[in-house]
């Protein structure tokens, strides 16, 4: 019921109230405008997070490039030599012995999982000693006593689990290397870039969505997924190499804007003679054996494949689309995609941000 105001002379004045329908329409318009504003703000915030993540990745990429350059200089001036190759024995070719030892030293310099912290003799590397010291300190602070060897091994396996590659990457950048590279001071990473998200006492490098970054030393499975049913391509007239799994650029294009052609993707710059591929007998099963974790000392990457250092942010959907770096059962240590090529463009891979996407 509407109340009418009366004119002093007794004549009713027209009412100016809103009907229920008019109020609902007005509220709908306001809600629509608010949704547009929220979407716009979300886009702005999302763009800001992407930019912040790219800044962190650029910082990481610069120091990794310096460290890799120093490693290459050290290897050039003092090539690794080994009288006996642990995987091949005394009769192994000297060039192949040197190549495999160089790759082991590279693995030691850029560890991404617990197995990388021991050398070919089973002893802890420089980084392994550092990790053990930090975990011992954390254990004593919590328990009041030093850990036994078994307790330290267990603590290391737990600490370097799903977030291990991010924790090791932080140590690589802030604790120095054996090759003389100047490193970033840990204070140069703000609390928005480095944080202990899993409470194990080791800092992880994180993106702007507060998720640990993923570090892949040899991301060769992005280039050669090595599906046993994958087509093969004869890369030369050499019968040994004709069974090499074909290069697949689907995943690579999603995670890198670099203009690297198939000829480069299909070669290991350190192994121009394809010695590692010849070692495994030129078969897909052989390729998988050299990639496997059955013997960490003899664990390498996919032969004849480009292998740059790769750091990945999962992006706003918080899904990587890659198996984690410690998931050796699924070749996650080599960045095996967890989605099929035909759905990759619409998958979790699509919004990932990496150090190879033109932000070096």
Residue 59, helix vs strand vs coil: helix
Q: Of the given ranges (56-65, 92-101, 275-284), which has the lowest mean pLDDT?
A: 275-284
For 300, left (φ over 0), alpha (ψ -120 to 50), or beta? Answer: beta
Provide the pLDDT for residue 44: 59
Nearest to 326 by CA among 215, 251, 227, 226: 215
310, 219 Cβ separation under 8 angstroms: yes
Report the chain's mean pLDDT, rounded to a whole number. Answer: 85
Question: Residue 84 and residue 79: Cα distance in Å, rounded?
Answer: 15
Q: What pLDDT digit, counting tens, does each position of 32-69 carry?
A: 787 667 655 555 556 899 999 999 999 999 999 999 99
**Least trusted range by pLDDT, from 106-120, 126-140, 333-347:** 333-347
The three-class DSSP label of residue 204 is strand
Q: What pLDDT is recorded for position 52? A: 96
Q: Is the CB of residue 304 less than 8 Å from the CB of residue 344?
A: no
Percent of the chain with pLDDT over 90: 54
The pLDDT tens digits of the residues spanning 122-141 come to 999 999 999 999 999 999 99
212 pLDDT band, cuts 50/70/90, is very high
If residue 251 lies in a helix (H) or strand (E), which one and from where to where?
A: helix 249-255
Q: Is the pLDDT of residue 213 over 60?
A: yes
Q: Which of 135-144, 153-162, 269-278 has the lowest mean pLDDT?
A: 269-278
The pLDDT of residue 1 is: 46
> What's 239's DSSP letter?
T
Give the pLDDT band (50/70/90) at residue 351: very high
Q: What is the pLDDT of residue 320?
A: 94
Torsion of CA 9, 14, 15, 20, to 10 degrees: 150
pLDDT band at 235 (very low <50, low <70, confident <90, very high): very low
Give the model's pLDDT for residue 186. 54
Is-contact 175 132, C-beta < 8 A?
A: no
Cβ(277)–Cβ(254) below 8 Å: no
- Please give the pLDDT value at position 194: 96
At 344 the pLDDT is: 82
Q: What is the pLDDT of residue 148?
A: 96
> What's the mean pLDDT in 172-191?
73
pLDDT band of 170, cuts 50, 70, 90: very high
Q: Running DSSP on this structure, what letter comes out for residue 350?
A: G
pLDDT at site 109? 94
Q: pLDDT-derived band of residue 312, with 50, 70 and 90 as boundaries?
A: very high
Least confident of 63-72, 87-96, 101-110, 295-304: 87-96
pLDDT at 86: 87
Residue 206: φ, ψ to 5°: -125, 160
Residue 169 has pLDDT above 50, yes or no: yes
**What values do phi and psi take at 286, rounded to 5?**
-65, -40
Contacts of 231 (CB under 8 A, 6+ apart): 246
Query: Contact, 275 vs 313, CB < 8 A?
Result: no
Q: For the chain, give the number of residues.
A: 360
Hey, where are the domains in the chain? 50-354
């Amino acid at each position: 019921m509407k109340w009418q105001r009366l004119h002093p002379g007794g004549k009713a004045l027209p009412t100016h109230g809103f009907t229920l329908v008019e109020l609902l329409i007005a509220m709908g318009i306001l809600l629509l405008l608010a949704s547009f504003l929220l979407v716009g703000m979300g886009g702005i915030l999302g763009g800001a997070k992407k930019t912040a993540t790219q800044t962190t990745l650029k910082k990481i990429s610069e120091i990794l490039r310096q460290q890799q350059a120093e490693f290459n200089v050290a290897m050039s001036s003092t090539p690794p030599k080994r009288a006996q190759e642990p995987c091949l024995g005394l009769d192994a070719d000297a060039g192949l012995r040197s190549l495999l030892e160089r790759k082991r030293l590279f693995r030691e310099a850029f560890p991404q999982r617990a197995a990388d912290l021991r050398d070919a003799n089973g002893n802890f590397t420089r980084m392994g000693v550092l990790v053990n010291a930090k975990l011992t300190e954390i254990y004593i602070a919590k328990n009041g006593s030093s850990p036994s060897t078994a307790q330290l091994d267990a603590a290391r396996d737990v600490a370097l689990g799903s977030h291990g590659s991010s924790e090791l990457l932080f140590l690589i950048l802030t604790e120095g290397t054996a090759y003389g590279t100047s490193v970033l001071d840990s204070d140069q990473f703000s609390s928005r870039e480095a944080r202990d998200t899993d409470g194990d006492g080791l800092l992880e490098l994180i993106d702007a969505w507060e998720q640990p970054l993923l570090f892949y030393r040899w991301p060769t499975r992005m280039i050669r997924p090595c599906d046993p049913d994958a087509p093969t391509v004869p890369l030369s007239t050499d019968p040994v190499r004709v069974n090499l799994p074909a290069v697949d650029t689907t995943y690579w294009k999603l995670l890198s804007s670099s203009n690297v052609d198939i000829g480069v993707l299909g070669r290991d710059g350190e192994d121009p003679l394809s010695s590692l591929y010849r070692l495994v007998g030129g078969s897909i099963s052989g390729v998988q054996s050299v990639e496997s974790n059955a013997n960490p000392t003899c664990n390498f990457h996919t032969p004849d494949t480009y292998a740059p250092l790769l750091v990945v942010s999962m992006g706003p959907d918080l899904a990587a689309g890659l198996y984690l770096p410690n998931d050796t059962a699924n070749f996650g240590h080599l960045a095996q995609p967890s989605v099929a090529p035909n759905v990759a463009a619409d998958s979790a891979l699509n919004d990932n941000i990496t150090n190879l996407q033109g932000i070096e």
